[in-house]
């Protein structure tokens, strides 16, 4: 059954000796799979593994994964000695060129960008094996939520397909009746043939009926079918437009307007199907 692209999953754990780890994964609709990671400083070595793990289980959607770590060990400031020397000699050179007498003190240097960094001795040692179970737990919850919303989408789209099928049956019956009535008003075979060529909607009705069956089949697919469903709906809209353009009857025209509106609402829903 289809899955939605909207969902949220979170997992929390205490990993000794690092501290508390919080992992959140959110997803919204997107044409492709787009993964954005927010990782604490010093954990970029986990980036590719996180992306690979997510891509194994999710095929479409804009995914935001946030990892937060509250370490037990206090972080300590680290002075960038090389950078502070570069600042000092550059400022000295400018002072001589401008003939400035004011001396450069340590307080000035300490406030310059990049001089201080905060480092945790444990950050780089946190292995993937410790994080992976939390990723799995968050993904399990996320996918469960996507499946729940997918079931709601399935019911809504299924009901709309049924309404379209009923409207199409009415159009077929009405078309046969109208053709029999109108054809009597033409005297020659040439006039009758010209009339049928310009107003016959049998081909469009057959194709639209096929698209409805194909759409229903795709709804039951467990794979990512959002793009395919959207394509089928485009074809359905095309056939409905042609039927409307050929219509020679007000009742058929009104039914077609209703069908086009229904198809448009289905296309909006399908934008959130994986």
Handedness of CA 131, 22, 34, 220 (dihedral sign): positive
* Contact by Cβ (8 Å): 235, 206: no
Q: Evaluate whether the domain defined by 148-270 bears CATH number 1.20.120.
A: yes
pLDDT at 192: 77
Q: Distances from the Cα of 188 to the Cαs of 7, 184, 248, in angstroms?
A: 64, 10, 20
pLDDT at 125: 53
Summarised one tens digit per residue, pLDDT across range 108-130 is 888 888 887 765 555 445 678 88
Least confident of 48-62, 88-102, 203-217: 88-102
Query: What H or E segment, with its residue span, contains residue 22?
Result: strand 19-28
Mean pLDDT, to the nearest integer, of 7-16?
A: 88
| Residue with more model confidence, 3 or 107 | 3
Which of 91-95, 214-218, 253-257 has the weakest average pLDDT?
Answer: 91-95
Question: Phi, psi (5° rounding) for residue 139?
Answer: -65, -40
**Under DSSP, is residue 24 helix (H, G, I), strand (E, B) or coil?**
strand
pLDDT band at 106 (very low <50, low <70, confident <90, very high): confident
Cα–Cα distance list, 168 to 26, 42, 202, 206, 208 (Å): 40, 61, 11, 10, 8
Instruction: Give domain limits for the chain.
Output: 7-74+128-145, 76-119, 148-270
User: What pLDDT is stored for residue 110 in this prediction?
Assistant: 81
Region of poorest pLDDT, from 38-47, 49-58, 230-239: 38-47
Question: Residue 243's pLDDT is what?
Answer: 94
Of 251, 246, 261, 266, which is closest to residue 203 (Cα–Cα)? 246
CATH 3.30.230 for domain 7-74+128-145, yes or no, is yes
Please provide the average confidence, as pLDDT, over all residues in the chain. Answer: 88
Q: How many CA atoms lie within 13 A of 30 on its CB side?
A: 16
């Amino acid at each position: 059954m289809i899955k939605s692209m909207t969902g949220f999953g979170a997992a929390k754990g205490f990993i000794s000796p690092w501290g508390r780890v919080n992992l959140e994964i959110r997803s919204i609709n997107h044409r492709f799979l787009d993964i954005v990671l927010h990782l604490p400083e010093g954990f970029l070595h986990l980036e590719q593994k996180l992306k690979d793990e997510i891509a194994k289980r999710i095929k479409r959607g804009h995914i935001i994964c946030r990892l937060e770590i509250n370490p037990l060990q206090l972080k300590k400031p680290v002075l960038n000695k090389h950078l502070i020397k570069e600042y000092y000699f550059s400022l000295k050179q400018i002072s001589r060129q401008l003939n400035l007498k004011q001396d450069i003190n340590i307080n000035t240097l300490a406030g310059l960008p990049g001089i201080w960094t905060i480092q945790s001795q444990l950050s780089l040692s946190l292995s993937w094996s410790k994080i992976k179970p939390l990723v799995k737990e968050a993904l399990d919850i996320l996918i469960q939520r996507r499946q729940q919303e997918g079931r709601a989408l399935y019911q809504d789209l299924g009901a709309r397909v049924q309404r379209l099928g009923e409207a199409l049956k009415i159009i077929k019956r009405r078309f046969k009746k109208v053709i029999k009535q109108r054809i009597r008003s033409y005297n020659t075979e040439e006039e009758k043939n010209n009339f049928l060529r310009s107003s016959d909607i049998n081909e469009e009705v057959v194709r639209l009926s096929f698209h409805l069956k194909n759409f229903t089949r795709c709804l039951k697919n467990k794979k990512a079918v959002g793009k395919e469903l959207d394509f089928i709906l485009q074809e359905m809209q095309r056939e409905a437009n042609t039927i409307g353009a050929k219509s020679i009857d007000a009742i058929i025209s009104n039914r077609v307007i209703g069908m086009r509106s229904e198809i448009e609402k289905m296309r909006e829903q399908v934008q959130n199907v994986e």
